[in-house]
């Protein structure tokens, strides 16, 4: 398509819950962009901390919306309803934009007006230090994005999304507490959206040691659920169904294996173990591990080492 004469406009939406300690820095990074955003919106998702004091220095330059706590997807939808730019650019309250991030995605959107999702690479920050890049572990898909989105959330959790496309797919699914980003980008891409990528780490994504580890099992089951949901998507092509079914089995198996390990080694509940071996859409190895853990836990501990991935702390970035 012919490039636009002017870049589209961007509303930066920051969702915050109990983020008084970090939201000020996030807002500052949004306001210090090399090209000014169309608007900056902070959605306070029912915080109980003193977020008002944290936002007071910026009140004349931002819009603040307060709502009852409803989770990240609901807060994103509230921000989207208030946004008046062409795109909603996502920023989490404990993260930050590089000063050139908005300029980079705006130029990409101007040059490629067919794109509905535009993003950049991100630095993964742990304890104030960079520990990796998102695209190193989750490469951006430049080909066959429809099939690739079943395998990984290669768009990440921080793109700018065209508001008209977001509205056409019904926004974020508020039934998801964890994997609503991946679900939204999957539905957008199946609806015809194309994603574009600036290969520079212009977003700082803060990882919190142990925060995801505690929710790892729930996170993996949510990923499996969003893929199972996609099997009923009316925009799914018949030739894409085998790849999606493989992704469902893989993610259900990962979730079952993580639940087994949590039960064996981290005091996780044993109530579900008896049902896991009969759960549908599991790979054989996951079914056997679940059966062994259910009937002979001591033997399972000897045969199934606690081999959680070394990059568990990066799991949040793919959720």
Secondary structure (DSSP) of 50-114 = -HHHHHGGGTTTSEEEEE----HHHHHHHHHHH--SSEEEEEETT-EE-TTHHHHHHHHHHH-TT
Do both 29 and 177 map to the same domain? yes
Domains in the chain: how many in total? 2
Burial class (CB in 10 A: 0-12, 13-18, 19+), 309: exposed
Do both 243 and 282 map to the same domain? yes
Residue 14 near residue 24 (C-beta atoms within 8 A): no
Among candidate residues 207, 229, 251, the one where a domain is terminated: 207
Confidence of residue 307 (pLDDT cuts 50, 70, 90): low
Among candidate residues 207, 242, 273, the one where a domain is terminated: 207
Residue 216 near residue 137 (C-beta atoms within 8 A): no
**Segment 256-260 mean pLDDT:** 92
As a whole number of Å, the CA-based R_g of the chain is 20
Residue 278 near residue 288 (C-beta atoms within 8 A): no
pLDDT of residue 317: 45
List all residues 6 or more positions away from 56 whose beta carbon is below 8 Å from its beta carbon: none
- Which of 275 and 85 is assigned the larger pLDDT? 85
Which tens digit of pLDDT belongs to each residue from 87-126? 999 999 999 999 999 999 999 999 999 999 999 999 999 9
DSSP letter (8 states) at residue 20 = T
Residue 3 lies in a domain: no
pLDDT of residue 319: 46
Confidence of residue 267 (pLDDT cuts 50, 70, 90): confident
Do both 290 and 235 map to the same domain? yes
Mean pLDDT value across the chain: 92
Do both 82 and 219 map to the same domain? no
Do both 28 and 140 map to the same domain? yes
Residue 4 lies in a domain: no
């Amino acid at each position: 398509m012919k490039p636009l004469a002017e870049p589209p406009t961007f509303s930066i939406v920051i969702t915050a819950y109990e983020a008084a300690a970090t939201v000020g820095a996030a807002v500052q990074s949004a306001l210090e962009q090399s090209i000014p955003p169309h608007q900056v919106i902070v959605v306070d998702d029912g915080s109980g901390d003193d977020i008002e004091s944290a936002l007071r220095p910026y009140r004349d330059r931002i819009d603040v919306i307060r709502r009852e706590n409803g989770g990240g997807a609901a807060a994103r939808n509230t921000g989207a309803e208030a946004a008046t730019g062409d795109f909603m650019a996502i920023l989490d309250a404990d993260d930050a934009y590089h000063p050139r991030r908005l300029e980079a995605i705006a130029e990409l959107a101007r040059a490629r007006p067919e794109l509905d999702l535009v993003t950049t690479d991100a630095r993964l920050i742990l304890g104030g230090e960079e520990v990796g890049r998102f695209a190193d572990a989750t490469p951006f898909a430049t080909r066959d994005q429809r099939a690739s989105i079943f395998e990984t959330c290669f768009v990440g959790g921080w793109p700018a999304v065209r508001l008209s496309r977001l509205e056409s797919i019904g926004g974020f699914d508020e039934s998801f507490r964890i994997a609503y980003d991946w679900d939204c980008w999957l539905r957008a891409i199946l609806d015809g959206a194309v994603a574009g990528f600036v290969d520079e780490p212009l977003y700082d994504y803060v990882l919190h040691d142990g925060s995801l580890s505690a929710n790892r099992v729930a996170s993996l089951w949510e990923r499996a659920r969003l893929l199972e949901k996609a099997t009923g998507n009316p925009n799914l092509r018949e030739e894409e169904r085998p790849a999606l079914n493989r992704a469902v089995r893989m993610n259900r198996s990962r979730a079952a294996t993580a639940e087994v390990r949590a039960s064996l080694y981290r005091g996780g509940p044993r109530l579900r173990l008896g049902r896991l071996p009969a759960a549908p859409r599991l790979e054989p190895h996951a079914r056997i591990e679940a059966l062994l853990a259910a009937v002979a836990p001591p033997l399972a501990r000897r045969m199934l080492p606690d081999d959680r991935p070394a990059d568990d702390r990066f799991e949040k970035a793919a959720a």
